[in-house]
Structure 1
Amino acid sequence: MLDYAQLATLAAVHRRGSFEHAAAALAITPSAVSQRIKALEERLGTLLVRRGQPCRATEPGLRLIRHLEEVALMETALAQDLPLATGDLPVLRIAVNADSLATWVLPALAAFPDMLFDLVIDDQDHSQDWLRRGEVAAAITGHPGPLQGCDTIPLGALRYRATASPDFMARWMPGGADAATLARAPAITFSDKDRLQRDWIFARTGARLTPPTHRLASSQGFVEAARLGMGWGMNPEALIADLLMQGELCDLSPDHPLDVPLYWQATRLGRRTLAPLTRAIRAAAAQVLIAPA
């Protein structure tokens, strides 16, 4: 029989990156964290945590964390069927891209006041990796699947516009956006995983360019940086429609938006438990995303 307090400690170390941060999250001492991890490793006869900066679970450790997530889903389903007065709100871990979080996901989550959400923020091209490793129960991804053991539901496409301030356009692109100006003009990039700017340049010009860029990992900050003339970038249409109408942002090429398809992928093990949330996610997506073909 596995000790689920030890499994929860293992998950906390992996997610928080250190024994000290795991201790703070669990309201126990770092010594107690160390003792639990050591006891679990000794019992199973294998290394479960790679000590370092940050600490990360090994493959056997990840399998145990995945098991813990699966048990949590089953317990949530049981609580829906039986009057279990545990006093604890269930926690659901989901991977989601920052722009979806900033534009349409939160209303879906807000419809579930009796649930806690642990959101992992990652690029839509990489959020599926969290689900593949079993570290989340569901993910909003840019991958159509299939993913073993998971359901995949198309949600629609998030439309992006290449935007910059009028002053930026006057300085860097007075004759418009073409391969030559885009190669020189400063761009704004969310992170090293963000390919939207380069994808748009290729779709617009056919050129494979890597422009000089700011790195700014904030959806709202991204919009503000563009408004202030720091650079140009791909912003969700839903976030910038008013700024475009007010003339505070310009569309580099109004006839060339970039539509990014999104999918809801969730473990089949939790299909019944997640069904209400899946419906809410689909309804919220329908309000903002371009309907799937």
Structure 2
Amino acid sequence: MLDYPLLAALAAVIREGGFERAAARLGVTPSAVSQRIRALEERVGAALVVRSQPPVPTEAGARLCAHVERVRLLEGELAADLPALAGPGPGAPALPVAVNADSLGSWFLPAAARFSEATGALLHLLLDDEDHTAARLRSGEVLAAVTADPAAVPGCRTRPLGALRYVACASPAFMARHFPQGVTAAALARAPVLQFDRKDGLQARWLRRHLDLPLAAPTHQVPSTQGFLDASLLGLGWALHPVPLAAAPLAAGRLVELLPGAALEVPLHWQHARLGARLLEALTREVAAEARRSLIAPDAGIAGLAGEG
């Protein structure tokens, strides 16, 4: 039989990103958390946590974390139906969800707000690049994710959401300063470019697709969606911005496209744990509805398909 206090310690370490934070969340000492995980590892007969900074689960640990999160969700729904079963403390279940920063800043939050208002459930949102959010599902940290990966994570369902369109922009002053003779390869090699973080490959992808050039320019890292846009408006560098965020500054002339009409479309998918939880189903409906309003429609050939891992 599974020992859920031990499993809770494992899940807390991964979810909180450290032993001390997990201890604070559980109301015990870091030593007690470490002892619980060692006891669980002895019972399972395998290492469950790589003790790095932050700690990451092994394959066996990820499977157990995913199980714990699903049990927490189902217990929360059961307590909502049968209040007498609810213990002390907050009763609303929380859904851990991974989402990329551009989706969070441009279209995802209205879906989250409608879901929370309708269900009373809480959301724990984890930010990561869209090419990496699926890894959060595999690790058991989250139960759902907005991801660029169409391949279903084992134990999950996936559905296409549509594409988020990006345009390469800079301020008029930046364009005049760095591209007086036009957007040439030589000018692009010298003009500063913005990246969200080291995982951000959008600018490099745009250069390869439209100009067949590598990204070799001086680079600023600005890990904030609003700060990223503000940095372009202030002339710090050029960058790819989601059309929903860039449309107003472009219309006002505060931003200019480097190559008008040369957009980049990033297909997005919604993946969620394959279990019959009403909360996940409700969140999926709201996310899909908002995607239909805000994103470019998926290709006709894939619209409506849902895969399972």
Deviates more, 1:45-54 or 1:108-117: 45-54
Distance 1:202 1:47, change over 3 A: closer
SS in 1 for 2:275: helix
Q: Name which of 183, 186, 189 aligns with 1:180.
A: 186
2:264 maps to 1:240: no
Which of 160, 165, 178 lines up with 2:171 in the alignment? 165
- Give 1:101's aligned residue: 104
| Alpha-carbon distance between aligned partners in 2 of 1:148 and 1:31, rounded to the nearest angstrom | 33
8 Å CA contact 1:66, 1:133 repeated in 2: yes
For residues 268 and 221 of structure 1, the distance between their equivalents in structure 2, rounded to whole angstroms, comes to 36
Gaps of 5+ in 1: none
Residue of structure 2 equivalent to 1:69? 69
Query: Are residue 140 (structure 1) and residue 146 (structure 2) matched?
Result: yes
Q: Is the 8 A contact 2:195 2:203 kept in 1?
A: yes
CA drift at 1:248? 1.5
5 Å-filtered alignment, 1:25-40, equals: 25-40=25-40
Gaps of 5+ in 2: 300-309
Contact between 1:70 and 1:270, CA under 8 Å: does it hold in 2?
no
1:251 paired residue among 247, 257, 272: 257
CA contact (8 A) 2:65 2:140 kept: yes
Aligned to 1:205: 211
For the 8 Å contact 2:169–2:258, the answer to whether it is kept is yes
Equivalent position to 1:221, from 199, 218, 227: 227
Q: Look up the match of 2:13.
A: 13
- Residues 34-93 of structure 1, C-alpha deviation per residue, up to 9 Å, x if partnerless? 332233233334332333433333332222112112222333454465555525211111
Corresponding pairs, count: 293
More displaced stretch, 261-270 vs 155-164: 261-270
- Asked if the contact 2:59/2:139 (under 8 Å) is kept, the reply is no
Q: Which segment is superposed worse, 118-127 or 225-234?
A: 118-127
CA distance in 1, matches of 2:124, 2:26: 15
TM-score by length of 2: 0.87
Relative to structure 2, which stretch is displaced further, 110-119 or 31-40? 31-40
TM-score (norm 1): 0.92
Shift of 1:124: 0.8
Q: Structure 1, residues 151-196: CA drift from partner, whole Å, max 9, x if none?
A: 2211111111111111110111122223222122110011121111
Query: Alignment identity in percent?
Result: 53
What secondary structure is seen at the aligned counterpart in 2 of 1:208? coil
Q: Which amino acid in the other structure matches residue 115 of structure 1?
A: A
Superposed counterparts of 1:80-91, under 5 Å: 82-83=82-83, 85-86=85-86, 87-91=90-94
Relative to structure 1, is the Cα distance of residues 250 and 51 closer, same or farther in structure 2, using a 3 angstrom cutoff? same
Q: Secondary structure at the match of 1:11?
A: helix
Alpha carbons of structure 1 residues 79 and 73: separation in structure 2 relative to 1, 3 Å: same
Q: Does 1:155 align with 2:161?
A: yes
In structure 2, the residue matched to 1:42 is 42
SS in 2 for 1:161: strand
- CA distances 1:229-266 after superposition (whole Å, capped 9, x unpaired): 11000011111222112221111122111111111111
Q: Which deviates more from structure 2 when the two are superposed, residues 186-195 or residues 238-247?
A: 238-247
Task: Decide whether the 8 Å contact of 2:64 with 2:140 is kept in 1.
Answer: no
Distance in 2, matches of 1:264 and 1:84, equals 34
Partner in structure 1 of residue 267 of structure 2: 261
Residues 137, 270 of structure 1: 8 Å contact kept: no
Name the aligned partner's letter for residue 219 of structure 1.
T
Q: SS at 1:269's partner residue?
A: coil
Q: 1:40 corresponds to which letter in structure 2?
A: L
Is residue 51 from structure 1 mapped to residue 19 from structure 2 by the alignment? Answer: no
Cα RMSD after superposing both structures: 2.0
1:36 partner SS: helix
Indicate conservation of the 8 Å contact 2:74/2:277, yes or no. Answer: no
